[in-house]
Each structure stands twice: as C-alpha cells, then as structure tokens.
Amino acid sequence: MRVGVDGKKFPFGREEGAIGILRAAANRGYDGVFFRSVVDVSPTLDTGYLAAVRETADQLGLYLEMGVGKVNPYASPEQPEIRELGGGDYLRAMEMMVEASVAIGCRELWTSAGNYKHNLPGLYTIDRFRTDVDWPDQLVAIDKFVHKLAPMLRHHGARLNIENHEEITSFEVLRLIESAGEDVLGVTFDTANTVSRSENPVAAARRLAPYTHLSHLRDVVLFYDAGGLTRQVRPCGQGVIDWEQVIGTLHTANPDLNLSIEMTNDRLLMGVQIFHPIWEQAHPDLTTTELAAVMRLAVECEERARSGAMPSLADYHAQPFGLVEKGAFLEDSIAYVRQILAKIDG
C-alpha cells in the first residue's frame, strides 16, 4: 500500500496546476495524488496536458488517480461545468471524462452521490434530507443513471467508485453495487464519513473493503451536543478511529490499494443529528449495536478532552490553520498511516 494525498484540498503547488501539485507531493515524500475530478486537472480535457500529467507522475514515481462527475441526477445541476462540457448532455460529459481518464491509464474513477452544503443549517447540509425529493427516490435515480453508464464503462474497462459520502450509508452503497455489478461500481472508502451516518468506522470498513478501489483517509472526533453529535476532522491517529483495524481490513481485501489522505481546508463542524425525530426512520439499516458503538466513541472523546489527552472542539477550532498547519496535518497523517502499515507488514 502506498500513501499519498487527495489533490483537491492539497495546498502546495497549486499555482502550477496539476503538474505543480504532483511535484510538490513528490518533494514532500508522498507516494501519489488522487485528483477528485479529471476536469479539475483540465477543464477542457486537453489530451496533451493530461498526457503531460501522466508523464510527470510516472517520472516522479507517483500513483495517479482520477474521478469524474457525480451520479445523482438531482445533484448534477450543481455541477453546471460538467453539463457544459458535454454541450448540455451530462451523460456524454461523463463518457468524455471516462475516456480522458482511461487514455492516461486511470480506470478506477471516483464519483459520489451528493454534495455537502456547509452553509445550510441542520439536516439540510446533507442531500439525504432534501425536501423536494425523498432520498429513496434519489437512490432510484442514481441506480438508473449508473445502469445507463454501465455499457460505456464496460467498453472502456473502467469502474466508478462511489464514495461513502456524507449523505449515503454503506448499506445503500452495497445495494447499488449489487444492482449495477461490481465490474461497473466499486467504493471510494472515506473513513471520516462513516460516522456522518452514525456507522462504526470498523464495521463500515468490513462491509465495504471487498469493493474498495480508492480511498480517503482522515480521523475524526465526536462530541455530544443538543442535536446529538458534532463531528470534527483531525489528522490520522489524533481521533478515535481504530486504524489498525480499518487499514488491516482494507489491506486484507486489497493490498495494492492506495491510501490517500484527504486534508480538511478548515475546521468546520458537522452535525450528526442522532437525536432528531426523523433520524431513525431515515436510517432503516442502522442497528442499535452500531449506533451504540458510535456513541461510545463520543464518550471516549469527551473523556480524553477532559483529561487533556486531546483538544476539545473549541480549543482545536481556536488554533490557527494556515499553510504551516495544513502541512502538519498531512505530515502527521502520512507518518501515522505508514507506522500502521509497518505493523501490518510485520
């Protein structure tokens, strides 16, 4: 397993585009870069530039991973640049993005089912709780759209890897894979997003690991509030995720999986409103056993904060978070993950 970074939030080398990001990652000793979307690398899918990006990654000995657009038709209007890329045809734009990625050797492609809206209050930060369209109807639309993409993906030997993003549960991801076929749809496993749906990170890893081909790694802390829980992202090893269990599970299923650290660009807090009246009915797969495990993680965080073993939400939020601190977030995370891998490799 190699350890690199998600390029979307990587703060170094951005002034020189994707090639600058690759060079900065290599200079810092990282193993690769996961670009969330190929249009972030080249908005026009310029074949010459994308080939240069591939060549740069190869010369630097880095892994290179790409993504495409989102597969929720109810969320796609929030990505007008992709529809414009296809001349108004979102399906064609997705095909173009897949073709451009495959042309540079990237066949495991990121996608997701929704958008996180930190500027909205409460439940409305998450597309799962939209009031204009119910979440089950969104899942049906996602399934239908993936089936439309399936022949093209099979033709190109490519696979979409849907992230267990803030809005979707691991159980729902598995049902989408079962419907589409695991040659068409896999998983981008995000460690921190598991708790957003009140799922135990270790249990979610065990469910999704057999289908995981891309990853986002970051740690979390959880604290109780009036609505239930508050989630805050922390560097790997500085929260409550059991990394030996999670990485060990991923390693067993796919020892060649690249582990990409997703840095946070801020110290935003996310509500996990387990006390909300509709939470239980909105999560029909959630068991009391797993919810209790997540609640125990919050108790552990509060005990560690009281003892001074970790910063509280307020103390951590008050710390500066400039370029130096962002670099430290990545350095600490990568060093910790490499320590875990050394233990696993024995």
State pLDDT tens for residues 4-44.
999 999 999 999 999 999 999 999 999 999 999 999 999 99
Answer yes or no: is pLDDT of 268 > 90: no
End-to-end CA distance of the chain: 13
Q: Kindly state the DSSP code that residue 193 receives in the 8-state scheme.
A: G
**Residue 325, CB-side half-sphere exposure with 13 Å CA sphere:** 12
Domain total in the chain: 1
Query: What CATH number is associated with residue 183?
Result: 3.20.20.150
d(CA 94, CA 152): 10
The pLDDT of residue 346 is 77
- The distance of Cα 299 from the centroid of its chain, to the nearest Å, equals 25
State pLDDT tens for residues 153-188.
999 999 999 999 999 999 999 999 999 999 999 999
The pLDDT of residue 266 is 78
Residues 6+ apart with CB under 8 A from 64: 22, 32, 33, 35, 53, 54, 57, 104, 105, 106
pTM of the model: 0.96
The pLDDT of residue 120 is 87
Domain that holds residue 283: 3-345
Tokens of 298: 């919050």
